[in-house]
Structure 1
Amino acid sequence: MKPIFKHKGTKVTKAVNPMPGLTWCSLCLSVLFSTLVFSDPFATNLTLQAALDHGAENNPQLLAVFNQWKGAEQNIAVQKGLPDPTLTYGHYFESVETRTGSQNQRFGLSQTFPGFGKLSSKKAVASTHAAGAGDRYRRAKLNLNLSIATSYAELHYLKRSTEITEDRIRLIQDLEKVARTRYKAGAPMAPVLQAQVELGRLEDRLLSLNDLHQPQKAQLNATLNRPATAPLSWPASLPYRAVEADPETLRRELARTSPELAELAHSVEQSGHQIRLARRERLPDFTLGVQFIETGNASTAVTDSGKDPVIGTIGINLPIWFGKNRARIASAAYKKTAAQFSLENREQTLDADIRQILFKLRDADRKINLYKESLIPKAEQSLEVNRKAYEAGQMEFINLIDAERMLLEFDLAHERALADHLIARAELSQLTGTDFLTEKNKHQDTKNTKSDTP
């Protein structure tokens, strides 16, 4: 603020703000808006890697599976431990008179020791269950990555579709101006009407795309455990990496890399331990204990008067219900057989699914290269040639519209192929457990990974 110099004899009037509260209100709103924007990085910069990292840390379903895994690991210590000891107390409602005195109450302490091999079998069952829970967590994370990548790709495709449609609207508006100029010069009015029809069609498409923006954002926000209306910018880019993978190589590595097959394999292993545990349930458990009986003084003078007896005890359960034991073993055996069939079935269907995804990748790659290298440049050239021919009066306007529609179709198909390629890579990662989504690996073609977007 510049200083005010008051000359002698001059009256200075201080400026008055007619709405003093408005300035403070505007300042507070600006600070609040800036705080909200800068505290939420997705409001200004949305990348696939950032979305994947945020989802891994905040998705409630993934966190639930993670805690189930950790709970299963803690259960191992529970299963391998001895049962809790038993403390007993007995009170005689009528004293038992003995030579050494009257017995009034008794105390007992006992500990059960499971039969040979039972604790080790229970530990093995719990350990394989925990390992399967770990595989389930890995699979849930891959499923989450697939959901995030799909929503991200669809949102990017929506962004590019909107931009392309807006560009075509500007093009048709320019063409309409040319048609109007020629109409004023005596040309037919049909080109003007054709341009207006095409403009209306494109504007309707743009309205649909704009209306779809909020549902698409809500879908990605839900996957990231954010409110549906949370600010979310357009995706910054669509990462592209060409993938070359041999289905036979992937199939051989599935037993090592696929969390789904690993979970099923652990289920088979767990069933085997359950069979051994069921067989060992036929062995008896032993219980060792000690009892103390409180004894009062004898009514007559005798040796050991009032001496409290101490009794050692040993117990054994009798697993004599052989039908129940046989049924327990048979039940565990059936579960193992079912787990083996499930594993065998998934190995076959997984191989077929991988081959289908590899086809999608090859098909998307072909389309990306075809549209980028051949069809789009030719369609652009065709549109420019038709435009110059129309302006020179050598071409019908409908031919220009057809050229514009063809270029629009090719541009959208190219963006659709890019989105499908990312989704297919996420699906391949989800099936194999190998990261084809964000990181380079030995299956990728390094010659074609120089840029993120083709």
Structure 2
Amino acid sequence: MKNKLRLFWPGGLRLLMLGLVLFQFPARGQDFQMLLEEALRENPQAKAAAQRHRAALERAGAAGFLPDPELQVGVFTRPMELLMGDQRGEGSLMQMFPWFGMLKAEKAEAAAMAEAVHAAYREVLTEVAYALEISYLEIYRLQALQDLDEQNLALLKALEELALIRLQGGDGALAAASASARLCPLRGRASSASSAMGGMGSMGAAPATSASGAASGGAGMGGMEAGAGSGAYSAILRLRMQRMALESALEQRQDDLELAYFQIGTLLGREEAVPVQASLGPAGTRWMLPDAQELPLEVLEANPMLAMLAKEQLAREQEVKMARLEGAPMIGLGVNYMVFSPRPEMGAPGPEGGMFVPMGMGNNMVMPMVSLNLPLYRRKYKAKAAAAREEAGALALQQDQVRQELFLSFQSLHRDKQEAERRLRLLADQVALLEEALNWAGTALIGNAGSLSEVVNIQQELLSYQAQRIEAEVAVEKVRAAYERLAAKHTGK
């Protein structure tokens, strides 16, 4: 039927409409992967999480070392008189050694906490990637609906021209053929645009406000068939009102796009809007969710929240071991060095009339030392171990809760995907029926046997269903984005 209608279109008009199609649907080649890489690298929240991870790695590198040795030096203001001479001063050096296994436990606890911070960092990256993809899909949705609004505006302008021709007493048959030539390409544009949207749309498939609103307004076009006079004039006024409303809606759509561009800029760490020409995968591309009966293994292995809780639990288990080892004695090894000077005995005659100096007087003394601390107050060590065990148990329960929530979210994603795909199939059938109806109505209109208002109403309804189709396709892609969020597809393991 489409080929039959083309027989009535002038060649120049067909070229003009082809140019309009190419203008209305520019090639959208913005690389989402490039935006994602920049967001993961430059987003302030991601950069802050990266710094926290580096700090945790530094703390882990400082764990597992012996305590600093203790050096003590003392000098007597007056020499201490001892049998071995006058003691001038002393110095001691002591190194404490924790009980066997304590340093290893400290290092394991610090490493587990660093891995938990790394999992938290991946969680931030996952949220940034998800927010970017949702904003990108919103831009795609707004741009696709904007295209439909522009088609609708072109339709209203064509109808207004037709009404003016009839009001001025022009050739009604020629006017109808001209209007049909302008309406039918719009049908082709709507179909080709929707089929090229291969896989994207928003959650909740409600028709766009401007597209559906214009469709409802088109139902009142029956007065246009009255030809010249008050009916055609009132039709012109109604068309102008609808056109003004649609132009206002397009301005609002542009404002929404500007806000979405600013959201993209914020996610990229910029203080400016980042215009994006959103594009999606090839036409007809689809993806499959894993079996809904059980949570996929890739989610269990890669989900950042589960990984963070598991590493924190491991750190608490190491704290239990550390608290137990703290209750064991610490051994200290050291040396004490005492400085002496000889002292002559007063009043005691020495050999050959000299003073008597005992043998060995004035020799410095070296004394090896061993110390042992006695952890007698056991209650504090038991309390530390008990607290760490309770926290480890709480983290294990949290992991069970997160697994249940992930499974529930996964089931919800399956339901949302099935609902969106079911709606897509329904809309595809409805659009096909409307296109067939539009073919018949356009053929009848060219043969002066049909009603222009009928063609208008069918075309407006087709645009409304195309808007719903965009919404449903974006809904499917939002399910995919949510699953990638669960499995941390954009941030690795």
Q: Normalising by structure 2, what TM-score? A: 0.73
Give the partner amino acid of 2:303.
S
1:375 to 426, 430, 433: 430
In structure 1, the partner of 2:337 is: 292
| CA deviation map 1:317-360 (0-9, x unaligned) | 22222221221111111101111110111111110011111222
Q: For the Cα contact (< 8 Å) 1:158–1:209, is it kept in 2?
A: yes
Amino acid at match of 1:76: A
Deviations 1:5-46 (CA, angstroms, capped at 9, x unpaired): xxxxxxxxxxxxxxxxxxxxxxxxxxxxxxxxxxxxxxx952
* Matched residue, 1:233: 276
Equivalent positions of 1:165-180 (< 5 A) are 165-180=149-164
- The amino acid of 1:151's aligned partner reads S
C-alpha change, 1:330 and 1:393, in structure 2 (3 Å) is same
Q: What residue in structure 1 maps to residue 324 of structure 2?
A: 279
Task: Tell me which amino acid in the other structure corresponds to 2:340.
Answer: T
List per-residue Cα deviations over 1:353-398 (Å, max 9, x = no partner): 1111122222233333443x3233433444565566567474363x
Cα 1:217–1:307, aligned 2, differ >3 Å: closer, same or farther? same
Instruction: Name the SS for the 2:287 alignment partner.
Output: coil
State whether residues 290 and 296 of structure 2, in contact with CA within 8 Å, keep that contact through their aligned partners in structure 1.
no
Q: Superposed, which structure 2 residues align to 1:372-411 within 5 Å?
A: 373-383=428-438, 385-386=440-441, 392=448, 394-395=450-451, 397=453, 399-411=454-466
**What residue number does 2:401 align with?**
345
Mark the CA change 1:232 to 1:104 in structure 2 (over 3 Å): closer, same or farther: farther
* Greater shift in the superposed pair: 334-343 or 193-202: 193-202
Q: Does 1:213 align with 2:257?
A: yes
1:83 corresponds to 2:62? no
Conservation of the 8 A alpha-carbon contact between 2:139 and 2:260 = yes
2:383 equivalent in structure 1: 327
Q: Structure 1 stretches of 5 or more lacking a match?
A: 1-43, 439-454
C-alpha distance in structure 2 between counterparts of 1:88 and 1:411, whole Å: 85
In the TM superposition, residue 157 of structure 1 has moved relative to its aligned partner by 1.2
Q: Distance in 1 between matches of 2:72 and 2:45?
A: 45
Greater shift in the superposed pair: 74-83 or 163-172 = 74-83
What's the offset of the Cα at 1:415? 1.8
Give the corresponding residue for 1:317. 373
Give the count of matched residue pairs. 391
Query: What corresponds to 1:21 in structure 2?
Result: none
Q: 1:393 to 1:182 in 2, by over 3 A?
A: farther
Give matches, 1:259-274, under 5 Å.
Answer: 259-274=304-319
2:242 counterpart (184, 190, 198): 198
CA offset at residue 408 of structure 1?
Answer: 2.7
1:47–1:237: 8 Å Cα contact kept in structure 2? Answer: no
**What SS class does the counterpart of residue 418 from structure 1 fall into?**
helix
- Preserved CA contact (<8 Å) 1:278 1:325: yes
Q: Name the residue aligned to 1:163.
A: 147
Asked whether the 8 Å contact 2:67–2:96 carries over to 1, the reply is yes
Offset of 1:264 from its aligned partner? 1.8
Do residues 305 (structure 1) and 361 (structure 2) align?
yes
Alignment identity in percent?
A: 23
Task: Provide Cα deviations, 1:189-231, integer angstroms capped at 9, x if missing partner.
Answer: 23222322221221111010111222111101111112223x4
* Structure 2: distance between partners of 1:91 and 1:423: 77
Q: Which residue of 2 aligns with 1:412?
A: 467
Structure 1 counterpart of 2:212: none
2:196: which partner in 1?
Answer: none
Report 1 or 2 for greater relative contact order, CA contacts < 8 Å, sequence distance ≥ 6.
2
Stretches of structure 2 that go unaligned for 5 or more consecutive residues are: 1-27, 170-226, 346-356
* CA distance in structure 1 between the partners assigned to 2:429 and 2:459 by the alignment: 16
1 CA distance for matches of 2:71 and 2:254?
Answer: 72
1:327 partner amino acid: A
Asked if the contact 1:145–1:426 (Cα under 8 Å) also holds between the matched residues in 2, the reply is no
Conserved in 1, the CA contact under 8 Å of 2:335 and 2:366? Answer: yes
When Rg is computed on C-alpha atoms for both structures, the one with the higher figure is 2
- C-alpha distance 104-418 of structure 1, shift in aligned 2 (>3 A): farther
> TM-score, normalization: structure 1?
0.78
What is the deviation of 1:173? 0.5
